[in-house]
Amino acid sequence: MIRKTSAFDIANHWVLALSFFILTVTGFGFLFHLELMNSIFGSFNRMRLIHNWSGIIFLVSLFLTMFIYLRVSVSFGPDDVGWILKAGGYLSRKAVVPPQDIINTGQKFFYLVFLLLGYAISASGLIIWLAAGVKKWVLLSHLIHNISFDLLVMLIPVHIYLGTFANPGTFRIMIYGTVPLEWAKKRHGKWVRRMGY
């Protein structure tokens, strides 16, 4: 076994995931006037409080997430080009892709896009909350909030799928933080080599 993620990062990822889930559910509640939410949260007034404060937790968690893979995510080399040309090996049962770092090219892109959208939806949400009634700022933020929302609800199911069913053996990272060495060598060869295995 080789450690891929620290206990702190695992805990933080769960906080991020859970707050995102609450924000998405309440967000859909607001968007489509789901009266069902009344029986879950008591009232839309309380749901608004839960939505706003979950947003704060999400933002703090997002900030803590930023320092894990930022450096590796902005590094881009021939192996990344190779990975993209093979579509990460996901469009074939037999595809072979270049050796990858601690996260692969797709994960790098996801990481960067998620950081961007996460900050966009947090900042716009804060403005809608704190600058309530200021037409110019709130209308722009409302637009950004909803564009980021649409992109995130499309992006996160892909992230969950790739981290569970599509890649057996990946989900344990979110529980134990460790992976079998053989697994790591095949999927993150560059990183394993750098670690001296």
Partner 1 sequence: MMRKSLLISPEVCIGCRGCQTACKEWNQLAGVKTRNTGSFENPPDLIPTLYNRIRYVEVPSEADRQRWLFVNQRCMHCGDAGCMKICPAPGALYRTPEGAVAFSKEKCIGCKLCVTACPFNVPRYDINNKISKCHLCSDRISEGLPPACSKVCPTGAIRFGDRDALIEYAKVTGYAKVYGERDLDGLGALYAFKDAPSIYGMNESPAIPESVVFWNNILKPLSYLGIGGVVALALIHYVAFGPHKEEEEKYDEQHDKKDQRL
Residue 186 lies near partner 1 (rule: CB under 8 A) = yes
- Using the contact rule CB under 8 A, the part of the chain among 14-22, 62-70, 114-122, 134-142 near partner 1 is 134-142
* Calpha distance 195→157 (Å, rounded): 31
Closest CA to 36 of 23, 150, 44: 44
The rounded Cα 134 to chain-centroid distance in angstroms is 31
* Calpha distance 10→194 (Å, rounded): 22
Residue 157 lies near partner 1 (rule: CB under 8 A) = yes
Select from 146, 172, 173, 176 the one that contacts partner 1 (CB under 8 A). 146
* Calpha distance 65→12 (Å, rounded): 7
* Calpha distance 166→43 (Å, rounded): 38
Residue 169 lies near partner 1 (rule: CB under 8 A) = yes
First-to-final CA distance of the chain: 11
Select from 11, 74, 166, 195 the one that contacts partner 1 (CB under 8 A). 166
Cβ atoms of residues 104 and 162 within 8 Å: no
Tell me the β-bridge partners of 179: 2
Residue 75 lies near partner 1 (rule: CB under 8 A) = no
Select from 7, 84, 182, 195 the one that contacts partner 1 (CB under 8 A). 182
Q: Which is nearer to partner 1, 67 or 196 (CB)?
A: 196
| x/- map, 1-20, partner 1, by CB under 8 A | --------------------
Residues that bind partner 1 (CB under 8 A): 28, 30-35, 44-45, 47-48, 82, 88-100, 104, 128, 132-135, 138-140, 142-143, 146-147, 149-150, 153-154, 157-158, 161, 165-169, 182-183, 185-187, 189, 193
